[in-house]
Structure 1
Amino acid sequence: MTSDLPAPLIEFTYRDDLDILVGRWGYQPDPRELPSVYQQMTDAALDNRARFWLQDIRRRTLNDPSTTEWLLTKFFPDMARRLDGRLYVAYLVGPALHNAIVNQPGYVSAEAYDDKPFAISFFGDEGAAIRWLQIQQTDKVGS
């Protein structure tokens, strides 16, 4: 039996065994939906003191430039401050979105975040994304 209910925009799971907050996006959001989603993300991260995030955005098709700017200049630095340590975000992306992200003007690689209170990296494979987060956990404990 199939459900006529739409897929949720995002589902959060805190993986206690990995100390990773997983957010799985169900579809491409309208930018007007994002404030409530990021509030849910804030609540989930603070509730679990989670500084290591896996964001599965494979069902998304584009990034809103103004939202990206807000994430990089306000949201991620604020979350790192509120979590008392560096925030690490691994994005799991599909090939088309990955290509669009890395070829957009202003794209910076993961190494460019070395002096920031957060680090971001993009992956096409979930295992690789989790391994990157685990390496950050062991290399950067307390930072």
Structure 2
Amino acid sequence: MRRDSRLSRMLHVLIHMAEHDEPLTSEAVASFLSTNPVVARRSMAGLRDAGFLTSKKGHGGGWALAVPLEKITLLDVYNALGDPAVFAFGPTDDQPDCLVEQAINERLAATLEEARALLLGRFATITLADINADFEEKLKASPWTGKPEFCG
């Protein structure tokens, strides 16, 4: 089953944005994400609509952080991406009249919702500044001496 990596990928883009003084074009973001600019713009639009990014069209335009990393949590980014599913598995409805399936689905749904609430609660406590600090520590320990560029 394929994983939804939008959250991780968008966090990656946002941390890189903090390292750049100029806005990043949709083409640059798309290149990093190995997708086309329309998909990149669609992903970034949710963050712009939530007030975390700005966008400017035309020459010299692009995407830029609208607020400091300290003001953006993992939960903010998750919500801006449209609340993607956090688990790849869940209840089935192949045989909705089956009492065994009903019992499984009720218990599984309740357990998954409890786990989702715990996960999203933790997301609310982690800022992008926390992740950026982790990156800065890795950078200090690295032999890299240049300015961080987009990976990929």
Shorter-chain TM band: under 0.3
Larger relative helix fraction: 2
Bigger relative CO (Cα 8 Å, ≥ 6 apart): 2
Give the TM-score normalised by structure 2: 0.25
Larger % of strand: which? 1
The TM-score, its normalising length taken from structure 1, stands at 0.26
Greater gyration radius: 2
